[in-house]
Structures are given as C-alpha cells and as structure tokens.
Amino acid sequence: MCNCAAYNSDELYTWCTNCGNYGIHASIKRALADKNIKPSEVLLCFDIGCHGNGADKINAYSVHGLHGRILPFAAGAAIANKAVTTIAFGGDGGTLSEGINHLIHSIRANYNFTFVLHDNSNYGLTTGQASATTKQGLEMNSSPSGVTSDTLIPMELVLSLKPSFAARTFSGNIKHMESIFKQAIEHEGFSYVEVLQSCPTYNKVTPHEWYAQRVYDVSTLEDYDSSDLELARKVAQDVQDKIAIGVLYLNKDKKDYYSRLASRKSIKTELVEEVKGYNVGNIIDKFR
C-alpha cells in the first residue's frame, strides 16, 4: 500500500481519460514515498506539454519551465543543492526538438538528477502534431499526407552518448515504472528514464494494450548484462515487435558532474548556502 498522501494535491487533473500521465504521476509518488523522501526534500521540474500541466498536481517543490529547456534548469538546481532530490520531466516534443542539445549535454556532463521522458509520439498539448518519434508515414494534424521525416528512436541516441543510466518503461504498468523510478533516483549521475506513454486522444496507434503485448523486461533474459553497452544498443533498436524495457544500461563507475569539479573538491558547503551569504543587492542596484 502506497503512503503517498503527503504528495497529494488539491488541484484537479485536466488530462484526458486514460492518459498515460495518470500512471506516471502515481508511480512517481509511490517511488518517492517508498524511499521516504518528503515533499520538502524534492524538486520536480516540468517542461511544457500535457505532462507539464501536472506541475501543480503533486504536492512538492515544483517549477513549470520553458518548452524544451527544463534540463538546464534542473541541472543548475541539482548542482546548487545536492541535498534535494531533483527530477525533471519532458515530452518527446520539446525534448527531442529544440531541447535536444540539452539532453545531449546533460548525458555528457552526467548531472546528478533523474530525467523522465514522456514519449507519446506527438505534441498532445497543441492537438496532435507530429514529433520526432512519430512513426514515418503517419497522418497527423500537422502532416495530413503523412510524416515525411525519419522516426527518431531516442534510446539509440542516448546510448550512443554512453550514459551512466538508461532505462525504459511504459505507462501501462505502475509497478514497473515505480521500480525504475526508484532505481533512477538512487543512481548517482544523470538517470535517463524513457516512458512509452499512451495518448488515447491523438495517438491511436500505440495504446497501452499495444505496448503491453510487446514489452519484455531485459532482466528476464538469461545472462542479460546491463553493463554491456553494445548489448543495450542491440536490444534497444526494436520498438515495433519486441520492445525491451527495464534498466537497459548502467555504468556505476562514471563520476557525476559535481564530483568531477576540481574547484569543489575540498569544499563541504552546498552552493546554495554560499549564495545565501553573498549580498547581491549592489549588483541589482546597478540596473535600477
């Protein structure tokens, strides 16, 4: 039984019936509660998109950022105060278009926070335009004759950058998502979690049932080794017939960004404490 009450908000959800966002929210709450993390000890950073409209639906510190730009915000917050658990959320629209550079550099830097990609293969908030993960040829609101560009498989991109943590799950299985979120939160470094999300309103091609019939957890494979990058790249490719979920790749030896900072090696205080002791009033006065 989940002890998630502290995370419940009085705000009413506005998502469509059966939207995958409901399950993702429930799983995040369960993961945080199960790890005994209090709402005052977590920062939830939401990008723009349908998922972002849930920013005030969880009782915790939260921010609702600019389209595609939530990763640098979360990175700054995670660096400034390591005592706070930072989790960022973005959709396939913002993250894999104007925000794709931030994803690449977050993986390179290995900032210490969790990133949850809500991949429903369309821009749901703006009524079903094609995103980078929409299947080629599919007729969408912005492409009535069918999507012309190649379809991006985000996990292939992520694994090509040698991440420290890369996992995949799907919004039809709350227990699986909860387990993956907990492992992502525990990981020290950038935890990339790809959630294959249903969008029953604008994505009729891949509902929960479609995923449920195709997914398998890599931990059920005999001899699957999550430290084998080439193996992860191999199983990640198929997103049509047999779809690999679970922790596909894990490298515990890769140091996170803050640990690599030579200038912070002997300093025990958090950056946020040092800022508190610095009077920026004089600088601000110059611009008055």
Binding site for ligand SF4 (CB under 6 A): 15-16, 19, 21, 50, 120, 124, 199-202
- Reading phi first (left if > 0) and then psi (alpha if -120 to 50, else beta), residue 189 is in left
Name the residue nearer to ligand SF4 (CB basis): 85 or 120.
120
CB of 21 to ligand SF4, least distance (A): 5
CB of 203 to ligand SF4, least distance (A): 7
With CA atoms as reference, report the closest residue to 51 among 121, 124, 132, 133: 124
Strands 165-170 and 191-196: parallel
Name the residue nearer to ligand SF4 (CB basis): 50 or 250.
50
Name the residue nearer to ligand SF4 (CB basis): 68 or 124.
124
Name every residue whose Cβ is closer than 8 Å to that of residue 147 and which is 6 or more positions away in sequence.
Answer: 130, 134, 135, 136, 137, 138, 139, 140
Name the residue nearer to ligand SF4 (CB basis): 92 or 256.
92
**Dihedral sign (CA 114, 67, 208, 56):** positive
Q: Is 218 helix (H, G, I), strand (E, B) or coil?
A: helix
CB of 283 to ligand SF4, least distance (A): 42
Cβ 19 vs Cβ 50: under 8 Å: yes
CB of 25 to ligand SF4, least distance (A): 11
CB of 49 to ligand SF4, least distance (A): 8
CB of 20 to ligand SF4, least distance (A): 7
Name the residue nearer to ligand SF4 (CB basis): 21 or 169.
21
CA 116-120-126 angle, to 5 degrees, is 105
- Taking the C-alpha atoms of residue 115 and residue 179, their distance in angstroms, rounded to an integer, is 15
Name the residue nearer to ligand SF4 (CB basis): 81 or 201.
201
For 248, the enclosing helix (H) or strand (E) is strand 243-250
CB of 204 to ligand SF4, least distance (A): 11
Residue 35 one-letter amino acid: K
Q: Is 273 helix (H, G, I), strand (E, B) or coil?
A: helix
Name the residue nearer to ligand SF4 (CB basis): 19 or 130.
19
